[in-house]
A and B are shown apart, each in its own frame.
Chain A
Amino acid sequence: MSDEEHHFESKADAGASKTFPQQAGTIRKNGYIVIKGRACKVVEVSTSKTGKHGHAKCHFVAIDIFNAKKLEDIVPSSHNCDVPHVNRTDYQLIDISEDGFISLLTDNGSTKDDLRLPTDETLLAQIKDGFAEGKDLVVTVMSAMGEEQICALKDVGPK
């Protein structure tokens, strides 16, 4: 099996690797795995022992962490898979621009403006409404494989 090529995007953390290798047989449910270049969370693993189909295999069913698509892969259990580094960072929400970009306050005081509004409808509604009402919002940004997306929202203002 050939290793997948890693396309390093020219984003902020140029030095760190996006993935690390892990033996397929050790990846469990709720772990992360890269399938067809997408960072995914494993929802199902089944293994078939060595037999007529060749080496023992792990059958993964996983959900893309960014677009929620279901992806599958079958990997010989002794082979290495790529596991994505998944980071979560909290930022304070400053502004929402008219064309759908978000302005966030980073730790060192500067702004991060390259993120779009999330596509998930519930989250989108929460952000828009909360911002419109003038609430103090903190968003959690999930990043993996050079891609980022808002995955959660917290109201930190006074109750």
Chain B
Amino acid sequence: MPQEEMEAAGSAGEKRDQETLESVRSVVFKPSISLEEKRFTKVAGYDFNQGLDLLGLLDSLSGTGFQASNLGDAIEIVNQMIDWRLSHQSPTEYCGEEVRNPAYRESVGCKIFLGFTSNLVSSGIREIIRFLVQHRMVEVLVTTAGGIEEDLIKCLAPTYRGDFSLPGASLRSKGLNRIGNLLVPNDNYCKFEDWIMPILDQMLTEQTLEQNVIWTPSKVIARLGKEINDENSYLYWAYKNGVSVYCPALTDGSLGDMLYCHSVRNPGLLIDIVQDIRAMNGEAIHVDQRKTGIIILGGGLPKHHICNANMFRNGADYAVYINTAQEFDGSDSGAQPDEAISWGKIKGSAKTTKVHCDASIAFPLLVAATFAKKFHKKANTNTVC
């Protein structure tokens, strides 16, 4: 090829390369809008050079990203639930003198509903729940049958750590029942049976002799909390502090087995779920000007029952879900707060978040940064007088 032609070809090739490079650059290096730091938080995790500081670590969650950020948001929302007072909003036109009183308005807080599945009571989360109920930090609990009996049984005999991989047939032959990586010996349920049967007999007597006693799941639960009389039990504290515990499916657990066996030997005990749905929905309806907040661990019945009750007041004002369920199958368990908003179970203006995490990890952290933090702050500032 002659020299000039080669140079021309070379520069044409160069020009093509330049053009290609420019178009690639414009795609790959698309100029970004600048994120206003007021609206967008910078990502930064906890710096362990600061030392081992629990509250510092919890504060860092918001900026860590992914579900840690969601947990950080949940902490923020729960703190709002705890801090809200009626005095934060102006009185309605038609409310009475007493309700206008600033001191009264300052004393009225948000009503918090806590829902959780039974497996969490089998786990150490039971102790976290007990702390909340012991100090009346939540007002209404909703759980399933196991959530009741596992708490009572732990006062009679302990649950042990096991492993997810322990073979079922081998466990059955040894009389061990597996809940995830926890083990509950059959013997624990035998102790539960021996404990509860005389109580059921007594309850039947009270129903048939004292005509006014109509048992409902929540009344049965309050009675069991009274009878267990053990400060380790959250049901004991619920009874003592007047925290209502609702469990419409009371028969779906060992409690149901006990009711079944009891009814064969000594039939007649009636448990009225209609009265309890009146009471449960009433918990949401009869709140006057108070706001409501819902904290739900897991899915299933507790999640829906609480959301549904709040529908009767056109939605909860604050909602925090902690669960591992997914929405792709259309299940209620996996449904995010926005789905509940479509039903009117959570207000459109509500502060909500879902933390996609096993509650056994997320809930202790959540309580540490909210209820426990305020409790211990208050304890430290209380003067002795």
Contacts and interface: CB of A to CB of B under 8 A. Distances in A.
Interface of A: 1, 50-55, 57, 72-75
Contacts of B265: 1, 73-75
Interface of B: 175, 177, 186-187, 189-190, 192-194, 197, 253-254, 257-258, 260-261, 264-265
A61 to B, nearest CB: 11
Nearest to B193: A54
A52 B254 contact: yes
Contacts of A74: 261, 264-265
B264 A50 contact: no
Contacts of B192: 54
Contacts of A72: 264
Nearest to B196: A54
B197 A53 contact: no
Contact of B189 (A1, A52, A75): A52
A53 B189 CA distance: 7
A77 to B, nearest CB: 12
Contacts of B257: 52-54
B250 to A, nearest CB: 15
Contacts of B258: 53-54
B189 to A, nearest CB: 5
B146 to A, nearest CB: 10
A50 B190 contact: yes
B189 A51 contact: yes
A145 to B, nearest CB: 19
Given A50-B175, A54-B257, A73 B264 contact: yes
B177 A57 contact: no
Nearest to B184: A52
A54 B261 contact: yes
Nearest to A72: B264
Nearest to B253: A52
Contacts of A50: 175, 186-187, 189-190
Contacts of A54: 189-190, 192-194, 254, 257-258, 261
A1 B175 CA distance: 23
Candidate in A53, A57, A72 with the most chain B CB atoms within 10 angstroms? A53
Candidate in A50, A51, A54, A74 with the most chain B CB atoms within 10 angstroms? A54
Contacts of A53: 189, 193, 254, 257-258, 260-261
A51 B257 CA distance: 10
A73 B254 CA distance: 19
Contacts of A57: 261
A51 B261 contact: no
Contacts of B253: 52
Contacts of A73: 264-265
A63 B95 CA distance: 68
Given A55-B190, A57-B261, A72-B264, 11 more contacts: A1-B197, A50-B190, A51-B177, A51-B189, A52-B189, A54-B189, A54-B190, A54-B258, A73-B264, A73-B265, A74-B264
A17 B194 CA distance: 29
A1 B197 CA distance: 8
Nearest to B175: A50
Contacts of B190: 50, 54-55
A155 to B, nearest CB: 43
A87 B197 CA distance: 35
Candidate in A50, A72, A73, A75 with the most chain B CB atoms within 10 angstroms? A50
A53 B260 CA distance: 9
18 contacts: A1-B197, A1-B265, A50-B175, A50-B186, A50-B189, A51-B177, A52-B177, A52-B253, A52-B257, A53-B193, A53-B257, A53-B261, A54-B192, A54-B194, A54-B258, A72-B264, A74-B264, A74-B265
A83 B295 CA distance: 55
A51 B186 contact: yes
A57 B177 CA distance: 18
Contacts of A75: 265
